[in-house]
């Protein structure tokens, strides 16, 4: 039962939503509907608590607040957010919702209920061999709601945001699954729908739990920089204010620090330390546009004022005013040198552009309906492409999920038709992708292309600003080799559709290709190999589907040797073991099972593998996956491969922690950079081998123009040893940078 304090807490939390809803609702009738939805949900969830111990109704209230305050949706969406768990968690039905709140709200709640059911289904299915395709199919069902009503996905993003905000109350195995799903699907989806603040917050929460040490370190350094440079940024802004005032602009200037996740991402992808992240600060100018000239011209006028005050980096200019991003984002970015010797990014937006940047697709449609937006925007084109993927009846769930994820995370380029019409394509697209982007028949009959008036093959990769003309022939037909270079899922699907018309020949050709590959390896046992390949490539339709995909080129067998070794136990497994810290349930591994990673296999242990993709060492935050052969594979929690696995196969996740007495040596790589001098290599090896007693496997150093750089592969016991080694090497004369290198061991 609830206490008096619980009821006061519920009333306080709803008060904030009540005020936001009053402003957002078009009339009193809509506002009263919101109050009715709250009363209904409050009664339906009465007496129920969340894992945190708080009344459950606080979750729907929080989701509704995000829906109205951070996304900007209206009355029906607010009501659906308040009611989104009622059908799933209580005895009320969708029909009850429709009777009380109308068809549209009931439709939104029904879509949200199906999403929640889909995400929970993989936990209930006991047939482990089917879970991979099941979870992919569940994601597909979620994304089908983009076809029904995009508001369903927007409310689900709000729901996911609040769940990760309170993720500390989840058990670890569930945290890993939720965070992996969030990174794989919901963060890219928020980005594609233009919800930058939601995307950034989910990224930072992901980093906080996946790489806690890195998150804490970056937060501390940001705090230090903010205290040191805060007044410098104010001094930097002052002359800009004076110029804007002189020009008669009405404006707001905001200053912000780069997010911990964006800094960590740049540090890891570019393999640079925090000190080499230059654009820590960003300044955002949001102006009220004058009646004339155009918003674009006013953005460039402000750009001119700023470059008259500060020197800028031309290669860092980003014009998303003339060519908005595919999610509708519009702004003008430049990076200038401030008076303190630090680079500062400046973003220039009108109020309309800022609303779209903050609230994404909801604001885009609001301005579009008011006649102020682009009637034929890239976000509309993207949604149409999503519909085409969703409506393809031949694509299986796993292939769909991979293709959709690729569509979400791929950046864009602009190219032009011979008549000067611009077309948006995924970065890395070829001339043939462009042809299929124009029309299916143009792609099917393409034989060559002209790029900037120069004759090129269809495989030519396009770059920003290219002008493309497709040369066709009525006798030309799609060829299997095209699948080797096509980038976009639309083009690949259209080619596969054309090739599938001759499926029998494809199956026969695929069988012949595989037989040749196996004969080359002197493999005669086919039954066992086929089963292994079907599992490895996640084939749901049996050997004919495997042969067909090989025949049409979807599976090129370039990784055949890896597939054949899938269940092989590596050498190092013989020395490493996992001890169960929780009992098995009914003879099988339960999600709450926890593993202790220890050195030796003995009674009560099973073997484990260190994932080669991320090479974790003791001390790293790790996540464990149960393999089909009963072994356990250990990944770093921030490993992209682990994230991909967890998002599709969350049922395999179990908790793992390192033994405190783990003395096995693990291979790690550090990179070095510094000023070359006589004896520097000798000093390095002396510190590593003699002072610290660390064994080296490989050392590679190159010098050029008095600078040296390189890497060293060495054996360490844990992250503490590695950190001590890095600190010691940083003290060697001439060393400028020492850093652990991720995922590059060979």
Are 694 and 685 a contacting pair, CB within 8 Å? no
E strand map for 246-299: 250-257, 281-288
Pairing status of strand 577-580 against strand 632-636: unpaired
Q: Is 90 exposed, middle or buried (0-12, 13-18, 19+ CB in 10 A)?
A: middle
d(CA 72, CA 50): 26
- Selecting among 6, 13, 54, 88, the annotated active-site residue is 88
Query: In Å, how far are 21, 202, 349, 376, 595 from 355, measured between CA atoms?
Result: 18, 20, 9, 19, 48
Q: Give the closest residue to 632 by CA, choosing from 616, 610, 612, 613.
A: 610
Are 44 and 91 a contacting pair, CB within 8 Å? no
| Helix, strand, coil percentages in the chain from 3-state DSSP, rounded to 5 | 55, 20, 30
Q: Strand 735-741's sheet: what is its strand order?
A: 696-704, 707-716, 666-675, 735-741
Q: Give the closest residue to 591 by CA, choosing from 116, 164, 124.
A: 124
Q: List alpha helices for 610-744, DSSP H.
A: 640-648, 680-685, 719-730
E strand map for 419-473: 422-426, 446-451, 454-456, 468-472
Active-site residue 602, yes or no?
A: no
> How many alpha carbons lie under 13 Å from residue 360 in its C-beta half-sphere?
26
- Selecting among 6, 54, 89, 243, the annotated active-site residue is 89
Active-site residue 599, yes or no?
A: no
Q: Give the closest residue to 421 by CA, choosing from 376, 361, 356, 458.
A: 376
Are 350 and 287 a contacting pair, CB within 8 Å? yes
Tokens coding 120: 């929970």
Catalytic positions: 88-89
């Amino acid at each position: 039962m609830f206490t008096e304090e619980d009821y006061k807490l519920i009333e306080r939390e709803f008060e904030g939503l009540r005020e936001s809803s009053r402003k957002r609702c078009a009339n009193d009738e809509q506002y009263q509907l919101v109050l009715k939805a709250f009363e209904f949900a409050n009664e339906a969830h009465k007496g129920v608590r969340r894992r945190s111990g708080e009344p459950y109704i606080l979750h729907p209230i929080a989701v509704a607040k995000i829906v109205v305050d951070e996304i900007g949706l209206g009355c029906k969406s607010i009501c659906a957010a308040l009611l989104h768990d009622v059908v799933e968690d209580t005895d009320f039905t969708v029909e009850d919702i429709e009777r009380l709140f109308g068809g549209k709200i009931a439709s939104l709640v029904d879509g949200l209920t199906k999403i929640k059911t889909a995400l929970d289904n993989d936990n209930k299915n006991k047939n482990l061999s089917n879970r991979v395709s099941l979870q992919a199919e569940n994601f597909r069902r979620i994304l089908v709601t983009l076809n029904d009503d995009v508001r369903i996905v927007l409310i689900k993003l709000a729901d996911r945001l609040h769940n990760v905000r309170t993720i500390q109350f989840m058990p670890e195995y569930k945290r890993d699954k939720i965070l992996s799903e969030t990174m794989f699907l919901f963060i890219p989806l928020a980005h594609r729908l233009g919800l930058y603040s939601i995307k950034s917050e989910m990224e930072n929460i992901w980093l906080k739990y996946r790489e806690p040490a890195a998150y804490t370190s970056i937060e501390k350094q940001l705090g230090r920089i903010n205290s040191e440079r805060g007044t410098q940024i104010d001094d930097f802004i002052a002359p800009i204010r004076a110029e804007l005032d002189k020009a008669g602009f009405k404006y707001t200037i905001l200053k912000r620090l780069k997010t911990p996740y964006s800094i960590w991402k740049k540090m890891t992808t570019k393999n640079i330390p925090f000190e080499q992240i230059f654009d820590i600060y960003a300044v955002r100018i949001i102006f009220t546009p004058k009646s004339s000239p155009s918003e674009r011209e006013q953005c460039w006028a402000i750009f001119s004022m700023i470059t008259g005050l500060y020197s800028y980096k031309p290669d860092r200019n980003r014009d998303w005013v003339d060519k908005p991003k595919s999610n509708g984002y519009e702004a003008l970015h430049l990076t200038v040198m401030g008076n303190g010797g630090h680079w500062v990014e400046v973003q220039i937006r009108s109020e309309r552009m800022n609303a779209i940047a903050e609230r994404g697709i909801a604001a885009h449609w609001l301005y579009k309906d008011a006649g102020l937006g682009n009637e034929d925007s890239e976000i509309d084109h993207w949604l149409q492409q999503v519909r085409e993927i969703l409506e393809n009846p031949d694509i299986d769930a796993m292939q769909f999920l991979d293709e959709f994820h690729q569509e979400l995370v791929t950046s864009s380029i602009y190219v032009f038709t011979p008549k000067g019409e611009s077309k948006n394509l995924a970065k890395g697209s070829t001339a043939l992708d462009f042809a299929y982007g124009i029309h299916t028949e143009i792609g099917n009959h393409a034989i060559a292309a002209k790029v900037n008036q120069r004759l090129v093959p269809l495989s030519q990769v396009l770059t920003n600003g290219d002008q493309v003309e497709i040369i066709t022939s009525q006798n030309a037909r799609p060829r299997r080799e095209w699948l080797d270079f096509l980038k976009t899922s639309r083009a690949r699907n259209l080619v596969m559709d054309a090739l599938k018309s001759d499926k029998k020949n494809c199956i026969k050709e695929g069988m012949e290709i595989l037989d040749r590959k196996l004969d080359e390896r002197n493999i005669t046992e086919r039954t066992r190999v086929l089963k292994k390949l079907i599992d490895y490539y996640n084939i749901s339709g049996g050997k004919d589907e495997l042969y067909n995909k090989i025949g049409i080129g979807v599976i090129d067998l370039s990784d055949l040797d890896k597939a054949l070794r899938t269940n092989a136990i590596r050498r190092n497994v013989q020395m490493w073991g996992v001890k169960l810290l929780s009992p098995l349930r009914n003879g099988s591994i339960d999600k709450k099972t926890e593993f202790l990673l220890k050195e030796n296999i003995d009674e009560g242990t099973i073997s484990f593998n260190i994932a080669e993709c991320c090479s974790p060492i003791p001390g790293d935050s790790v996540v464990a996956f149960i393999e089909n052969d009963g072994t356990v594979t250990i990944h770093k929690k921030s490993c992209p491969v682990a994230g991909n696995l967890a998002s599709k196969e969350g049922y395999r996740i179990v908790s793992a922690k390192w033994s405190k007495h783990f003395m096995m040596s693990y291979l790690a790589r550090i990179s070095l950079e510094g000023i070359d001098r006589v004896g520097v290599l000798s000093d390095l090896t002396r510190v590593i081998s003699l002072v610290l007693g660390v064994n080296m496997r490989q050392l590679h150093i190159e010098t050029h123009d008095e600078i040296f750089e390189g890497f060293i592969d060495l054996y360490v016991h844990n992250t503490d040893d590695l950190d001590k080694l890095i600190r010691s090497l940083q003290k060697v004369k001439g060393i400028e940078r020492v850093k652990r290198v991720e995922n590059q061991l060979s």
